[in-house]
Structure 1
């Protein structure tokens, strides 16, 4: 059996239905094997970075590993941004790169290059993968494939890479003679860490003593497939839940306990809830400075902090934690729920919930805009929430569009929101949406991007047109790189170099027409009625939302302030009235 055929059968056996990539000389054997196989497709993008993002979108939505392939040299190096995105957000993806024949590969590290397009991709991407290796022995293909898939999914998940020289791809092997990773001495079956009963009982005692608890749900909830268990926990306890950027879709926004998105660009009411809580239960969040602010001693400063994460390296290093628990979230929450049910203990946090609801009423994420000749971005996001099908997947790009959506979209129970967090790469939204559609083609897919982000991977409109993928692409167009423009306004005397000056956007309607995709332009409130039908039909659409050139994301945390003190700043007396605990003193 040809080795590249074996890889395809292996992927199929592991539930992979789609491989994303871009054809090239050093990967043709593998791509040819995909085309000859039934039950698996090769989707050719128009840039390897887009393929990497598509694989990530596929993985996030399917819950399985995403697979992407590229040729050697520039094909492999074009994957780097996507690999980094999957690594920082803990998404299990397998990247398969072509490589020159082993007999052409450089004989010494002192030699820069021997074979055409030869590049040591393994050394380049090792810091942003869980495992990367160039395969030099065809008889070890089963071992490397099994090890790569295992490591991608085991513990804190993440990307892996296998580099395949051309002569290895075309080698003839006998599958029955291959030795796998699971039969090897290297494999040590890691039994899932048992939940420590003392940790569960300690947390319950803290909940019993608490008057103002808050759960902070991070991206780890989705990774652990623990969304339903989290919902059960908040049903039992009535504890309010705030979410990080990566955790926004881990809770049904229609649930009475859902508070909102917290952090530097989070809603003011969510940050006030965290600031004033007396118990913070952190589930699957890294607690970056985008959650805590740079002055970490100000964060939840009068609260007991309990942190549960599968990665011990994330525990008790950024803020002072009262209880740090290394554990799989799904197992931990399940045990916690059972303990609570068996104890028959009743909680009443209604007065605390009333206080949070008063924050929501005072500081909504959007206001009804009085000027119907303009589009208010936050109000727009709230309105399209009401229009979208209950089974929708929304893929966000990076920039102001991402924050407006994260602040003001109201997600229903079965809806998903794809956010790129750690790497924050512009150009993510559109290709990730493509990957999401191949994972769940029966869902409605919406990509929300900006005029800057769409231009990074605009070539993928051809993938959508060619494959007839019914994605709705909403472009929030302010003809500027708005996030950085605001930064320049604050700190660089409004010198808009590279954001307005020296930057421009094309006519997206004409570009859409060139790709053969239908389009719609919205520049005022009266045109919103045209949008609902188009968001829910089975056609592709480019929907350009025309905004003012100068736009803002508010609230926004400035340097040197605690999370409850966002800009535009509240009057000191007003902030004091909102604080149950003492105001922060630096």
Structure 2
């Protein structure tokens, strides 16, 4: 006989789970005890939201399942934001929460609560999970564990959630007698038509581009993609999720488009006559809320694993769409084009187009001399340029998931191939950076991890400084002090004539002394006031051993530029400019 809670973590251990992120509680006491004895390394964060975020980061960086354990009630609800990010990012996560014992559950009584800290968590999380169930019958635990794990890692990955009542956690079971989950055979689509149409389009194309989406990574197909580029050397655009797939010096890399992408990449995208989108859901930040104008001159091939994503797209000039695994498509395309003589003849014709793409990116750089000449404070753009120069391919880069610290970093960063750079931009929640850096650092065997965080977002999970210090993680934290919510101020200035609400000290918002707070937690600290100090100190910050926090005094008025603009008309309707018309205007 075996205690059910022991079975849960023995199951995950056998699946190769190395870390679980958690915060203990009475409603999960048997689960907590079993995790502690399982051989899985548990990381205790100081808030359940942070535990879920760290689990998502770990899963994003490893393509393995991220495990999070919480107690019942508020412990479970606190994790919802991190799980929502995993749902949007297609991240495989396994959430386990405690629950009041079965005799104390609400059931169908219509009341709001019976058990201690009881909430109907499964009803809350069902829309943001692939599988969510409250385990009422101990004999079904194997079925639920096997099915949940299968759902999390197959098809379009995503979070799953099991709520386990206290008496079920403590139940004794006979593992050999448990009901199993029988997986249905996977039926893969026939790719003949989409491959045929792709090849036909390429044979006609004079200015083709590939948009490489996160589906390539989720399919573990990055190496297959690189192999495809060897026989199909056409320019590649990346998304925020795939910015680290190619380096700035890769011959075929021509940038990352979007409403806050780089101008050169947008011009290349809008000039292309053929667009092959692989594994990207073409979200609104990429299309700048203007799908019909996205890739306006291009015939399009669109591949995504989720038919629902394809069905909602409002693209024009679509040659073909296919719901399939990105890796299957890439491998099939490679097998076809590798021996196609007409494609080989086209390669020479595409070289001038690729050179044109590189010319546009050099003509419209994200970091300019104006940024480099800023005095008295630090330019966020110049800092990003210096950070690129002073980090290595071994470093892990974590931009905050919301606000200027994320937006400017992604726009201006020049990646090195192999350098990990990720966040949770799909949800775009403030407060993700610090806990995300914990999961990212552990996922990458404690490699140096560089966090770029705004002073506002940093406050939302600042308690995780203690976790970083306790674990002695080599996280180098750069805090952009731009006096509160710079992105909100910019939005208010652009839309409300400069009238500001809760975005800075003059409008009701203030921030503590970040350096003093960090020192109280035991971090080594720096404060950089201007360009000269930045140039002198950036290496010291990066190379100081252990956890480090450096506050940068960023210009409070520096905003994301260039970017596409949205105009609000007098009747309240909104009009988004197309990608090729970024603000400010240029020749």
**1:114 match:** 114
The CA deviation at 1:21 is: 1.3
Deviation string 1:71-100 (CA, Å, 9 cap, x unpaired) is 111111111111110001100001101000
1:135–1:141 Cα contact (<8 Å) kept: yes
**Number of residues paired by the alignment?**
565
Distance in 2 between residues matched to 1:4 and 1:235, nearest whole Å: 50
1:389–1:536 Cα contact (<8 Å) kept: no
Distance in 1 between residues matched to 2:171 and 2:304, nearest whole Å: 43
Distance in 1 between residues matched to 2:362 and 2:442, nearest whole Å: 40
2:486–2:559 Cα contact (<8 Å) kept: yes
Q: Which runs of structure 2 are paired with 1:416-455 in the superposition (5 Å)?
A: 416-455=420-459
Does residue 1:412 correspond to 2:416, yes or no?
Answer: yes
The CA deviation at 1:526 is: 2.2
Alignment partner for residue 298 of structure 1, among 283, 293, 317? Answer: 293
**1:336 match:** 333
Query: 3-state DSSP class of the match of 1:324?
Result: strand
The CA deviation at 1:318 is: 2.3
Distance in 1 between residues matched to 2:296 and 2:109, nearest whole Å: 52
Query: 3-state DSSP class of the match of 1:458?
Result: helix
Deviates most, 370-379 or 130-139: 370-379
Structure 1 residues 250 and 373: alpha-carbon distance in aligned structure 2, compared to 1, 3 A threshold: same
Does residue 1:556 correspond to 2:563, yes or no?
Answer: yes
Query: 3-state DSSP class of the match of 2:104?
Result: coil
Alignment partner for residue 545 of structure 1, among 549, 552, 562? Answer: 552
Query: 3-state DSSP class of the match of 1:259?
Result: coil
Deviation string 1:357-412 (CA, Å, 9 cap, x unpaired) is 22112210101312354322122112111211311211221110111111122221
Deviation string 1:486-520 (CA, Å, 9 cap, x unpaired) is 11010011112111111122111111110001011
The CA deviation at 1:536 is: 4.2
Does residue 1:45 correspond to 2:45, yes or no?
Answer: yes
Does residue 1:530 correspond to 2:525, yes or no?
Answer: no
Deviates most, 42-51 or 233-242: 233-242
**1:60 match:** 60
Alignment partner for residue 393 of structure 2, among 390, 393, 409? Answer: 390
2:541–2:550 Cα contact (<8 Å) kept: no
Deviation string 1:164-198 (CA, Å, 9 cap, x unpaired) is 1000111111111112213xxxx31214x155123
**1:288 match:** 283
Distance in 2 between residues matched to 1:231 and 1:386, nearest whole Å: 25
2:255–2:361 Cα contact (<8 Å) kept: no
Task: Calculate the TM-score normalised by the size of structure 1.
Answer: 0.94
The CA deviation at 1:537 is: 5.1
1:268–1:564 Cα contact (<8 Å) kept: yes
1:220–1:247 Cα contact (<8 Å) kept: no
**2:569 match:** none
**1:315 match:** 310
Q: In structure 2, list runs of 5 or more residues that go unmatched.
A: 567-575
Distance in 2 between residues matched to 1:459 and 1:442, nearest whole Å: 20
Distance in 1 between residues matched to 2:377 and 2:93, nearest whole Å: 42
2:454–2:480 Cα contact (<8 Å) kept: yes
Deviates most, 212-221 or 223-232: 223-232
Structure 1 residues 364 and 132: alpha-carbon distance in aligned structure 2, compared to 1, 3 A threshold: same
**1:168 match:** 168
**2:145 match:** 145
1:142–1:180 Cα contact (<8 Å) kept: yes
Deviation string 1:291-331 (CA, Å, 9 cap, x unpaired) is 22333322222210110111111115221322101111111
Structure 1 residues 261 and 87: alpha-carbon distance in aligned structure 2, compared to 1, 3 A threshold: same
2:21–2:44 Cα contact (<8 Å) kept: yes
Does residue 1:519 correspond to 2:519, yes or no?
Answer: no
Query: 3-state DSSP class of the match of 1:322?
Result: strand
The CA deviation at 1:533 is: 4.3
The CA deviation at 1:149 is: 0.5
2:476–2:547 Cα contact (<8 Å) kept: yes
1:195–1:327 Cα contact (<8 Å) kept: no
Query: 3-state DSSP class of the match of 1:446?
Result: strand
Does residue 1:251 correspond to 2:257, yes or no?
Answer: no
Q: Which runs of structure 2 are paired with 1:194-213 in the superposition (5 Å)?
A: 194-213=189-208
Q: Which runs of structure 2 are paired with 1:76-155 in the superposition (5 Å)?
A: 76-155=76-155
The CA deviation at 1:146 is: 0.6
Q: Which runs of structure 2 are paired with 1:15-54 in the superposition (5 Å)?
A: 15-38=16-39, 40-54=40-54
Deviates most, 427-436 or 216-225: 216-225
**1:9 match:** 10
1:231–1:251 Cα contact (<8 Å) kept: no
Distance in 2 between residues matched to 1:37 and 1:300, nearest whole Å: 51
Q: In structure 1, list runs of 5 or more residues that go unmatched.
A: 575-586
Distance in 2 between residues matched to 1:502 and 1:138, nearest whole Å: 53
Alignment partner for residue 510 of structure 2, among 504, 509, 521? Answer: 504
Query: 3-state DSSP class of the match of 2:480?
Result: strand
**2:181 match:** 181
The CA deviation at 1:483 is: 1.3
**1:403 match:** 407
Distance in 1 between residues matched to 2:429 and 2:63, nearest whole Å: 22
After superposition, the CA RMSD in angstroms is 1.5
Query: 3-state DSSP class of the match of 2:255?
Result: strand
Alignment partner for residue 379 of structure 1, among 378, 382, 393? Answer: 382
